[in-house]
Structures are given as structure tokens and as C-alpha cells.
Amino acid sequence: MLTAEPISLALPDPWPSRVRGGTPFVELSELPISVEGAEPGDVLALRASNYDPVGFGFYDPESGKIWSMPAGPEETLDEKFWHRRVHHALELRGRLGLTGEESAYRLINGEGDGLPGFLVDVYSRHVVVYSLSAALDRHAPALSKVIAAELHPHSVISKIRPAGEQVTGRIPFRIEHGEEPPANVVVREGGVAYEVHLTGGLNTGLFVDMRTVRQSLRPWFRGRHVLNTFCYTGSFSVVAALEEAKSVTSVDFSAGVLDWAKTNFELNQLKLNDKRFKFVRDDVFEYIRVSRRHEKTFDVVILDPPAMTTVPGKRWFLKSDYGRLIAHALKIVSPGGLIVVATTCTASRPEKLETQIREAARETGRRLRLVESIGLPADFPTQMIYPQARHLKCFLLLAD
């Protein structure tokens, strides 16, 4: 919880203006003095060199940061502070029409909602609070308490999700409100049902930030042969099938997620014995190679690979190798077909991705027309001063 009298810290320029502008953290290594007497997670009152108040910070030496929030001179970091932030965040999602009983949405998107270091996702009547470090986790109960009071969910759980680290396997969680959520929860998005697992690994089975991409792709599916690579739980595949694609092929290396994709089909009354639907457990690179050898093409090819491949013994990194994958995939896109190039990897800068797309087009002799460029949906607000937080980049391209 908060300390009654936070330690005061004078920030050197340009940090006061950066914090006021919405920068999510101050780098400890850039401060001329060390923070004396503070424990990880302690609240700091941030001031300018003339002692004007700037905001609050959470001291996080392990991450080398002070997570910082601009605040008015009268504000104190008390329950009302959390309430105001959560209330505003909820108001925005309400305006967006996202707060229905069964919907899945992001309620708090870090500094975009004035709470750097915290992410909160809502899945139907259940809420998951992520703290981006152990130091911040000290404040998860205070945040969870006001979320419970505002939203009246069945459950609120909290997890630590260290920023920038690859986390695999089950991760521990704490019940902050109500009872443990059921192992399987069903949410709905645009009338489509998806099963999510809130108490397993970091990923719940549905990437909520891809909502606009799923929506934008709808008109492209009807009567088309669709290939969904790195399909995970098949969220794009289900939409393609419901939109009456001629065929939907979902490829992933993990048998577990393919079973989950099948569950999502069944949840939407799509028959697994329908010949139009194929679920293929394979390495995507190999699948494309074999398709090329058999001169098999698709009208819509979706690429949304992870930061690095999870196939044992294979070395592939999105940052350096996405261009090669795009070129490889372009060889199986039918003339006039659509290729979807997406990533949520923060390491991939938008300019770099555009260059990789241009190079892949040149290499394969395909002229690409950009028909839509998609960024984060409105429940993922970011600060203009911190564009690094805009992690979703997606291009819908027609291959002439």
C-alpha cells in the first residue's frame, strides 16, 4: 500500500517534462543521485528541480526504473487516486461499447490510462491484473480493490508479468477478489465465441489487441481459400469459417493449441468433420515449402508469427527474419490474393517491418497494394510521447 509520507525526489531536466508528458518511467541510471531509504515499490513524490510537483513514482530498482505518473498538486496517492484512474478507464471502454457481460477488453493499458506498469484485462465477469514487476505487485491489491468496487466482477486475479521477458508455462496468480475463476471461460467478440484460460500461462487464448484485425478481415474471407499460419487458438480461422470461406487451413506446431482451436470451432457450431476445415500440426516454414512444391496457393494468407519460433532446433527471429518469411509466403498467395502481415512484437519497429515487406515484394516480383494498415484498438490507448508502446502493426496487402 502507499506510504503516508512519500519520499520526495527532485528530477533533473528533462525528466519533469517527460513525466508530465506521459513517459511511463524514469531510468534510475540517468539520475545523478541514488534514491536513499526507499524500498522496492515505495511511492516517491516526484518534483522538478524548483520543487514544483510533477507526479508520483513507484521505486523499482530491480527493473532500474521509477514507474512514473503525472499528478496534479492536490493529488495524493490514496484510494481516490486509483478510483479516478479506474473510473476514467471504464468510462472510455463504456463509450466504446466494450463493457458487455461477455466481452473481452483491456481496461487499463499502463501509462495510456495513467497507470504505468499495470495492465488489466477483462474477460466476461473475470478480471486479470498484471503488474510489470514484483515491486509494482505490492500495489496490485489496491488497484484490484477499486476494480472490484467499480465493476462488480465474479473474480479479480493478479499476476506478475515482467516487462520484456519471454514467459512460458503456467504462471502463479493471486486471488484479489471473489473466487478462483473457472479453468475455462467463454467470451464473445462480434458474436463469435472464444474459450479463454485465465489461470494457466501468460497468454489466455485470445489476443484482445487483434480485435480490429479480426473485424477488418471479415469481408476478405467469403468464397476464399484461407491459410492461417501460426494459428494459435484459431481466432482468425473461426471468423474465416463463419464468414463462409471456401476452405480454412490452420497451421501451428503445438498440438495443444490446435485442439483449443477445434474447441473454438465447436463453440461456434462449426463442424470439425466439415471438409473445408483443416487443422495441420506442422512447422509453418515447412508447410509453406511443401505447398510451394505442390503449387498449392491460397487467396488469403495470414502471418502473425511469435518473436521467435518455438519449434525445437529451429532458429528464426522475427526481428531479423520476418522479411524472408513474407517472401516465402508470397510464393503461395494466389494472383490478386491478400497477405496479412502482423506482429505484436515490440522489438519490430514499424519502419523496419515496412522495409522488410518492400524487400520481400521486390525479391518475389509481386507488386503489393496496401489496403489497410491497422494499429492498436481504442481500448489500448498509448501516450504520444512513448510510441514504443504501440506494439501492434498489421498490414493488409493485395498481391497483384
Ligand X SMILES: C[S@@+](CC[C@H](N)C(=O)[O-])C[C@H]1O[C@@H](n2cnc3c(N)ncnc32)[C@H](O)[C@@H]1O
Chain residues that interact with ligand X, rule: CB under 6 A = 207, 210, 230, 232-233, 235, 251-254, 257, 283-285, 304, 306, 309-311
User: What are the counts of helices (DSSP H) followed by strands (DSSP E) for the chain?
Assistant: 10, 19
By beta-carbon proximity to ligand X, the closer residue of 40 and 306 is 306
Separation between Cα atoms, residue 297 and residue 301, nearest integer Å: 9
| Helix, strand, coil % over all residues of the chain, rounded to 5 | 30, 30, 40
| Spatial CA neighbour of 81 closest among 132, 135, 6, 30 | 6
Shortest distance (Å) from residue 310 CB to ligand X: 4
Q: Do the Cβ atoms of 194 and 205 come closer than 8 Å?
A: yes
Shortest distance (Å) from residue 200 CB to ligand X: 14
By beta-carbon proximity to ligand X, the closer residue of 283 and 359 is 283
Shortest distance (Å) from residue 138 CB to ligand X: 30
Shortest distance (Å) from residue 54 CB to ligand X: 37
Shortest distance (Å) from residue 137 CB to ligand X: 25
Exposure of 172 by Cβ count < 10 A (0-12 exposed, 13-18 middle, 19+ buried)? exposed
By beta-carbon proximity to ligand X, the closer residue of 111 and 252 is 252
By beta-carbon proximity to ligand X, the closer residue of 312 and 365 is 312
Separation between Cα atoms, residue 71 and residue 40, nearest integer Å: 21
By beta-carbon proximity to ligand X, the closer residue of 47 and 391 is 391
Shortest distance (Å) from residue 51 CB to ligand X: 47
Reported residue count of the chain is 400
By beta-carbon proximity to ligand X, the closer residue of 43 and 261 is 261
Cα 186 to chain centroid distance, Å, stands at 19
Q: Do the Cβ atoms of 213 and 395 come closer than 8 Å?
A: no
